[in-house]
Structures are given as C-alpha cells and as structure tokens.
Amino acid sequence: MIKKIILIAILLLIIFCKNVYTQSILYPPEPPKIELFDAYIVNDEKKWSINNVHDPSIIKAHNGWYYIYSTDVKAYGIPRPGIQIRKSKDLINWQFVGYVFDNDKYVFKGIPQEAFEWSRASTLWAPDVKFFNNKYYLYYSASTFGKNQSYIGLATSANPEGPWKDEGLVIKSKQGDPVNAIDPCLIFDENGDTWLSYGSFWTGIYLIKIDKRNGKPAEKGFGVNIARRKGTVSGAIEGSYIIYNPKFKKYYLFVSYDSLSSDYNVRVARSDRITGPYVDYNGNVMTDLTLPPDEVGTKILGGYKFKNDDGWIAPGHNSVLVDGDDWYIVHHARPALNKNWMYLHIRRIIWTDDGWPVVSPERYAGEKIQEIPQSLIIGVWERIVLDPYVKIQAESQEINLLNNGYIEGDNKRGIWEFLSPNTLKIKWIVDEKQQKYESETVKILPAWDFENWKPTLVFTGLSGKGIAIWGKRIK
C-alpha cells in the first residue's frame, strides 16, 4: 500500500514538474526607462540616446558594436549638420558617438562643399551604411524640403566611427527632373551585385546599378522606377529599403507613405527580381496608379495606441538589421503627445509561413524567440488593426480568448486555434450558420509591455486580406 502511494506521488510530481516546465518561458528583462520630452538634455549631445533619431540606418560592425547613422535633427533647437552616429552592444542601450563630417573644412560645417553648392542644404538627411571592399560606405542626402534640387553623396571609412573621407557625387537631380535624389539604400542582390534604391515624392522610388569597385553608378540616367503613388497624394512615397530573404528567394521593398510628421506608415511589397515588379500581399503592383493610393502596399507599421498610454504616431523611414537568424526593423517614431520629438524604435521582424514580414507591436527589449505553450494564450488581450485606409492612430480593443476556443470582443465573436509553434489562427464569425468567417493568422512571442511596464506576450500577423493585426495580453 505504501509503495503504491509513493508511486502515485512520484507520478503526480512528474506531471506537476512537466506542467510547470511547459508553462515557463523566458521573458525579456526590464529595459532602461527613457524619460520622454527631457528638455534638460536638448543641448547635451553626450546624453542623447534614442532621442533625436530620424531616418536611422543600422549596421553591425566588425568590432561587435551596432551602429546607427541618422538625419541631422534636434527637438526644440537648430540641428548641427554632419550625420549623427550612435552605438550599442545590445540594441537597447545607445550612446552618442559624434558625427560623420565633424570638422571645419567644409563651406557649411558638416556639409561637403560639392553637396552644399548643388543643394544649398543646411543639414544632411537619410544616410545608409554598408560594408564591402574592406571599408564602410556611407551614402547621404543633401536637399531642401519640398524641392528636388538634391544630391546623394558617398563617404568611406575603415572604421565605423571614422574618420570619414568624402568621395563626392553619386547621383543628383534638379528642377524638371522626374526624380528626387534623396533617401539612398545600397542593396546586394543574390549574386553579390550592388544596387542603389532612392527617391522621394515626384515619380517615386528608383533603382540603379552600382559599380562595386567604387560605389558609384554603373550606368547613366536615373535607373528604373520600382514604386510610385498618384499625384492626388502628392506622390508621398519615400524612404526605400530593400532586403533579400534567401529562405523565400524574394526581394522585399520597404517604403514609407504619407506625411513624416503626422501619418507616416511603413508598407512592404516583394519581387522575384531585384528590379521588380514589386507586389503587395494582394497582388497589387507598387507602380499601379489606377488603384486608390492607400490600397497599394501591405501596411505593417503605423501610428498606434494601446490603453494606459498616449501611443506613437508617424513611425517610418526604416532600415532592416539581419543578425544571424534574427531580423529587426529600425525606424523613428513621434510621441502622440508631442510630435516635435523623435525617438529610435527597434522591433523584431517575424516572418509569416507564406513569406511576409510582420513586426512586433512592442519595442525590442532583449526577448528571445521561443516556443509558447497554448495554456498561456488564454486570457484578455488588446488587439489593434492597422487598417491601410486609416490615417489616425489605430486604437486597441479588448478581446477575450476563452478556454473553450471561443473569442469574445466588442460586438464580435470568433473562434481560435493554436498551432505549435507559436501560431494562433483566429476566425471572426460573419455568419455562423453558413460558416462564413474572416480569418487572421498571427505569431506569438514574448515582449516587454512598455505601456504597463511588465513582461507579457504579444502577437503579430496578417488577416486574410493582408491587413496587419497586433495583440498584447493584458491579463
């Protein structure tokens, strides 16, 4: 009898331990708390971390540090020109390094002479940094707002912190040209050849072949037009960034739509060839002017607001970091409470099973991708729909994932199914009798809840119509 009791106890202990093990996941640690709107550090660059970051370009250098290069901006002050540099060991804690052009030899301090003489720019914009030929290549923009008398230049260095040598003109545009020569992004195709995407407003985004020997165009002209928008929105498309994903054997074009200070948002499309055509989730070509301008491009990031926070607006002009098996989107955003401030955001990119990038609803805090047990899915979540037609902040609504597989929400009912690893399928009931549903497929990952300041679970994915869906468990 005693042996039987002991055996039962051991069995129960094994079951208990197994249950505890499957319930436990590794959440990110508490990140540093950044005070927003800190007027005391406006004129103290040494204390700048993620503030005053606009149009960030990221690279992981050979010394193990991550570096970000960004547009010359300054909240409530006149920015110093020269391209800002920051670095980090963990993508979370950032320190200000200095400037690319940090000397007095230029006509206008921080702006190379040729770039200044062509554009009359007072600051430099939207850099992009890549490493090849055993040195760092930094492409930069010189222009004035609303004009296409613009200039893309190149600087090189053996060290990510400089000193940098200005290599002069890459491509320029003038009034009457169909393009605006700003916002460069260097791309390596699957064969190792180099290309430059660039452009803003006017007739959109262009792609031109680059001579890998010197980083300059390998052909005359402006290249091929790969994305544009209708004149009814003043051609508001810019900030291109192209990556190649060898798993899906496709090129992905990221662009930013609309006004950089109010309703900026990031869209994505993909192609089998680097020169296009680039098509969105619904098969719309990025150069199609016959469709409504907000219908083209799969929106994966926009202004948003979870409960207990004012939220963020105008996230955009991204770069992408591929670090081993980990993918990140790097962009700026503005606090909804005061859009005059700009901050760096880094988020994990998760890939859908059919090869589309979606992004975490929370900023990166060191979380690891890991298997999530189904039992942790049950509970109350905040859900956000990033509707491509909505210009204002997308606000969250509560939904309850019940233990019986049903979902209750505001005037909505649905069913959910968990597919390991980490995939949640949601079907919103349109007509239960005729079994009509609207589906969403999302991926679950741990995250830091910046609004409630605690660890939690989040999800990100796409609906059957290609609309980005975010979620965050709150209880």
Residue-range definition of the domain harbouring residue 392: 374-473
Question: Quick check: is 247 in a domain?
Answer: yes
Quick one: 171 exposed, middle or buried, by C-beta within 10 A (0-12, 13-18, 19+)? Answer: buried
d(CA 181, CA 58): 21
Predicted local distance difference test score (pLDDT) of residue 318: 98
Cβ count within 10 A of residue 413: 12
From the candidates 72, 128, 238, 449, give the one annotated as an active-site residue: 238
For residue 440, indicate whether it is catalytic.
no
Helix/strand/coil for 15: helix
Which helix (H) or strand (E) segment holds residue 449: the answer is: strand 436-449
Strand residues in 205-249 grouped as ranges (E): 205-211, 216-217, 224-227, 237-245
For residue 35, indicate whether it is catalytic.
no
- Same domain, yes or no: 288 and 188: yes
Tell me what the mean pLDDT of segment 124-139 comes to: 97
Predicted local distance difference test score (pLDDT) of residue 22: 37
Question: Quick check: is 319 in a domain?
Answer: yes
Predicted local distance difference test score (pLDDT) of residue 171: 98
From the candidates 55, 166, 382, 440, give the one annotated as an active-site residue: 55
Predicted local distance difference test score (pLDDT) of residue 398: 96
What is the percent of the chain where pLDDT is above 70? 93
Question: Quick check: is 380 in a domain?
Answer: yes
Tell me what the mean pLDDT of segment 186-199 comes to: 97
- Same domain, yes or no: 97 and 51: yes
- Same domain, yes or no: 81 and 143: yes
Q: Of the candidates 335, 359, 383, which is a domain's last residue?
A: 359
Predicted local distance difference test score (pLDDT) of residue 300: 98
Question: Quick check: is 166 in a domain?
Answer: yes
d(CA 288, CA 340): 34
Do the beta carbons of residue 72 and residue 34 sit within 8 Å?
no
Question: Quick check: is 35 in a domain?
Answer: no
Report the range of poorest mean pLDDT among 40-44, 56-60, 250-254. 40-44
pLDDT band, residue 103 (cuts 50/70/90): low
- Same domain, yes or no: 129 and 204: yes
For the cut 60, the answer to whether the pLDDT of residue 288 exceeds it is yes
What CATH number has the domain bearing residue 466? 2.40.128.10
For the cut 60, the answer to whether the pLDDT of residue 98 exceeds it is yes
Predicted local distance difference test score (pLDDT) of residue 143: 96
The structural domain count of the chain equals 2
- Same domain, yes or no: 127 and 72: yes
Predicted local distance difference test score (pLDDT) of residue 285: 98
Q: Which amino acid is at 239?
A: G
- Same domain, yes or no: 121 and 181: yes
Report the range of poorest mean pLDDT among 99-108, 176-185, 252-261, 404-413. 99-108
Report the range of poorest mean pLDDT among 1-15, 121-135, 348-362. 1-15
Tell me what the mean pLDDT of segment 12-20 comes to: 38
- Same domain, yes or no: 196 and 325: yes
Predicted local distance difference test score (pLDDT) of residue 341: 97
Predicted local distance difference test score (pLDDT) of residue 7: 46
- Same domain, yes or no: 259 and 396: no
How does pLDDT run across 366-422, given as a tens digit for each residue?
999 999 999 999 999 999 999 999 999 999 999 999 999 999 987 789 999 999 789
Predicted local distance difference test score (pLDDT) of residue 10: 43
Question: Quick check: is 364 in a domain?
Answer: no
Cβ count within 10 A of residue 241: 24
Predicted local distance difference test score (pLDDT) of residue 105: 61
Torsion of CA 178, 287, 185, 105, to 10 degrees: 20
Tell me what the mean pLDDT of segment 165-188 comes to: 97
Helix/strand/coil for 217: strand
- Same domain, yes or no: 213 and 238: yes
Q: Of the candidates 324, 359, 394, which is a domain's last residue?
A: 359
Closest CA to 384 of 467, 452, 454, 451: 467
How does pLDDT run across 296-320, given as a tens digit for each residue?
999 999 999 999 999 999 999 999 9
For the cut 80, the answer to whether the pLDDT of residue 276 exceeds it is yes
For the cut 50, the answer to whether the pLDDT of residue 20 exceeds it is no
What CATH number has the domain bearing residue 207? 2.115.10.20
For the cut 90, the answer to whether the pLDDT of residue 436 exceeds it is no
Predicted local distance difference test score (pLDDT) of residue 109: 78
Q: Of the candidates 326, 359, 392, which is a domain's last residue?
A: 359
Predicted local distance difference test score (pLDDT) of residue 232: 80
Predicted local distance difference test score (pLDDT) of residue 15: 37
Predicted local distance difference test score (pLDDT) of residue 337: 97
Predicted local distance difference test score (pLDDT) of residue 410: 79
DSSP character for 108?
B
Question: Quick check: is 180 in a domain?
Answer: yes
d(CA 233, CA 269): 19
Report the range of poorest mean pLDDT among 48-62, 249-263, 376-390, 402-416. 402-416
Question: Quick check: is 287 in a domain?
Answer: yes
Predicted local distance difference test score (pLDDT) of residue 431: 74
- Same domain, yes or no: 221 and 316: yes
More confident residue, 257 or 146: 257
For the cut 90, the answer to whether the pLDDT of residue 452 exceeds it is yes
Do the beta carbons of residue 443 and residue 453 sit within 8 Å?
no
pLDDT band, residue 233 (cuts 50/70/90): confident
- Same domain, yes or no: 231 and 276: yes
- Same domain, yes or no: 169 and 204: yes
